[in-house]
Structure 1
Amino acid sequence: MLLASLDQTIFSTALPTIVGDLNGVDQMLWVTTAYILASTVMMPVYGKVGDLIGRKPIFIAAISLFLVGSVIGGLAASMPVLIAGRAVQGIGGGGLMILAQAIIADIVPARQRGRYMGILGGVFALSSVAGPLLGGFFTEHVGWRWAFWMNLPLGALAILAAVVFLRLPVRAHSRPQLDVAGTASLAVASASLVLVSVWGGTTYAWGSPQILGLIVLTVAAALAFVVAERRAAEPVMPLRMFRERNFVLTTAAGLIIGVAMFGALAYLPTYLQMVTGASATEAGLLMIPMMAGLLVTSTVSGQVVSRTGRYKAFPVVGTLVVAAALALMASMDPGTPVVVICTYLAVMGIGLGLAMQILVLVVQNTFPSSEVGTATASNNYFRQIGASLGSAVVGTIFSSRLVDLLSGASLGGGSAGGDAANSLTPEAVRQLPEAARTLVVDAYSNALTPVFGYLVPLMLVAAVLLVFVAEKPLATTIDRAEEPVEGLDREPALV
Structure 2
Amino acid sequence: MSVQTSPAPMSQRQTLEALSGLLLVLFVAMLSATIVSTALPEIIGALKGSQSQYTWVVTATLLVSTATTPLWGKLADLYDKKLLLQIGIVIFTLASLVSGFAQNTGQLIAARAFQGLGMGALQILAQIVMATMISPRERGRYFGYLGAVMAVATVGGPLLGGLIVDTSWLGWRWCFFIGVPFAVVAFALLQKTLHLPVIRRAEVKIDYLGALLIAGGVSLLLLWVTFVGGSFPWASWQTLAMAGSGVLVLALAVWVEARVAEPVVPLKIIARRNTALAIVASLAVGMAMFGGAVFLGQYFQIGRGYSPTEAGLLTMPMMAGVLASSTIIGRLTTKTAKVKPYIVMGTIVLTLGFAGLGFIDHDTPLVLVGAGMFLVGIGVGASMQNLVLVVQNSVPLREIGAASGAVTFFRSLGGTIGVSVLGAVLADHVADNIARGLERLGIRGGGDGAGSNLDIASLPAPVQEVVRAAYGDATGHIFLISAGIAVVGVIAAMALKPVVLRDALDLPDEPAPDGVPAAGVTAAER
1:485 maps to none
1:2-32, CA deviations, whole angstroms, 9 ceiling, x for partnerless residues? 0111111111101111111111123111000
2:28 maps to 3
1:12 maps to 37
1:438 maps to 465
1:490 maps to none
Once residues 405 and 22 of structure 1 are traced to their aligned partners in structure 2, the CA distance between those partners, rounded to angstroms, is 25
Question: What is the identity, as a one-letter code, of the residue corresponding to 2:467?
Answer: V
Q: What is the Cα deviation at residue 175 of structure 1?
A: 6.1
2:498 maps to 471
Question: What is the identity, as a one-letter code, of the residue corresponding to 1:23?
Answer: K
Among all aligned residue pairs of Structure 1 and Structure 2, give the percentage whose two residues are the same amino acid.
36
Q: What is the Cα deviation at residue 461 of structure 1?
A: 2.1
2:246 maps to 218
1:423 maps to 453
1:252-279, CA deviations, whole angstroms, 9 ceiling, x for partnerless residues? 0000011100111000111011122211
Other structure's SS at 1:76 match: coil
Segments of structure 1 that go 5 or more residues without pairing to the other structure are 483-495
1:225-268, CA deviations, whole angstroms, 9 ceiling, x for partnerless residues? 11211222211111101231110001000000111001110001
1:449 maps to 476
Once residues 58 and 427 of structure 1 are traced to their aligned partners in structure 2, the CA distance between those partners, rounded to angstroms, is 45
Once residues 140 and 399 of structure 2 are traced to their aligned partners in structure 1, the CA distance between those partners, rounded to angstroms, is 19
Other structure's SS at 2:184 match: helix
TM-score, with structure 2 as normaliser: 0.88
2:291 maps to 263
Once residues 407 and 152 of structure 2 are traced to their aligned partners in structure 1, the CA distance between those partners, rounded to angstroms, is 23
TM-score, with structure 1 as normaliser: 0.93
Q: What is the Cα deviation at residue 117 of structure 1?
A: 1.5
Asked if structure 2 preserves the Cα contact closer than 8 Å seen for 1:10 and 1:135, the reply is yes
Question: What is the identity, as a one-letter code, of the residue corresponding to 2:41?
Answer: P
Once residues 173 and 440 of structure 1 are traced to their aligned partners in structure 2, the CA distance between those partners, rounded to angstroms, is 60
Question: What is the identity, as a one-letter code, of the residue corresponding to 1:450?
Answer: H
Once residues 202 and 126 of structure 2 are traced to their aligned partners in structure 1, the CA distance between those partners, rounded to angstroms, is 21
Q: Does structure 1 residue 323 correspond to structure 2 residue 348?
A: no
Once residues 391 and 455 of structure 1 are traced to their aligned partners in structure 2, the CA distance between those partners, rounded to angstroms, is 10
2:413 to 368, 377, 385: 385
1:302 to 327, 330, 346: 330
Once residues 426 and 9 of structure 1 are traced to their aligned partners in structure 2, the CA distance between those partners, rounded to angstroms, is 22
Asked if structure 1 preserves the Cα contact closer than 8 Å seen for 2:210 and 2:264, the reply is yes
Q: What is the Cα deviation at residue 455 of structure 1?
A: 2.3
1:84-129, CA deviations, whole angstroms, 9 ceiling, x for partnerless residues? 0000000111011111111111111111110112211221121111
1:40-189 to structure 2, matched below 5 A, reads: 40-141=66-167, 142-173=170-201, 176-189=204-217
Name whichever of 224-233 and 11-20 sits farther off: 224-233
Once residues 108 and 202 of structure 2 are traced to their aligned partners in structure 1, the CA distance between those partners, rounded to angstroms, is 37
Segments of structure 2 that go 5 or more residues without pairing to the other structure are 1-25, 510-526
Asked if structure 1 preserves the Cα contact closer than 8 Å seen for 2:435 and 2:444, the reply is no
Other structure's SS at 1:206 match: coil
Name whichever of 440-449 and 99-108 sits farther off: 440-449
Runs of 4+ in 1 over 6 A off after TM superposition: 410-415
Once residues 112 and 475 of structure 2 are traced to their aligned partners in structure 1, the CA distance between those partners, rounded to angstroms, is 24
Other structure's SS at 2:395 match: coil
Once residues 316 and 428 of structure 1 are traced to their aligned partners in structure 2, the CA distance between those partners, rounded to angstroms, is 47
Once residues 367 and 321 of structure 1 are traced to their aligned partners in structure 2, the CA distance between those partners, rounded to angstroms, is 29
Once residues 312 and 184 of structure 2 are traced to their aligned partners in structure 1, the CA distance between those partners, rounded to angstroms, is 26
Q: Does structure 1 residue 196 correspond to structure 2 residue 238?
A: no
2:518 maps to none
Q: What is the Cα deviation at residue 145 of structure 1?
A: 0.6
> Alignment length, in residue pairs?
479
Asked if structure 1 preserves the Cα contact closer than 8 Å seen for 2:41 and 2:298, the reply is yes
Asked if structure 2 preserves the Cα contact closer than 8 Å seen for 1:23 and 1:422, the reply is no
Question: What is the identity, as a one-letter code, of the residue corresponding to 2:470?
Answer: A
Question: What is the identity, as a one-letter code, of the residue corresponding to 2:142?
Answer: Y
Report the CA distance shift for 1:420/1:181 in structure 2 as closer, same or farther (over 3 A): same
Question: What is the identity, as a one-letter code, of the residue corresponding to 2:452?
Answer: N
Other structure's SS at 2:118 match: helix
Report the CA distance shift for 1:362/1:208 in structure 2 as closer, same or farther (over 3 A): same
Other structure's SS at 1:451 match: helix
2:16 maps to none
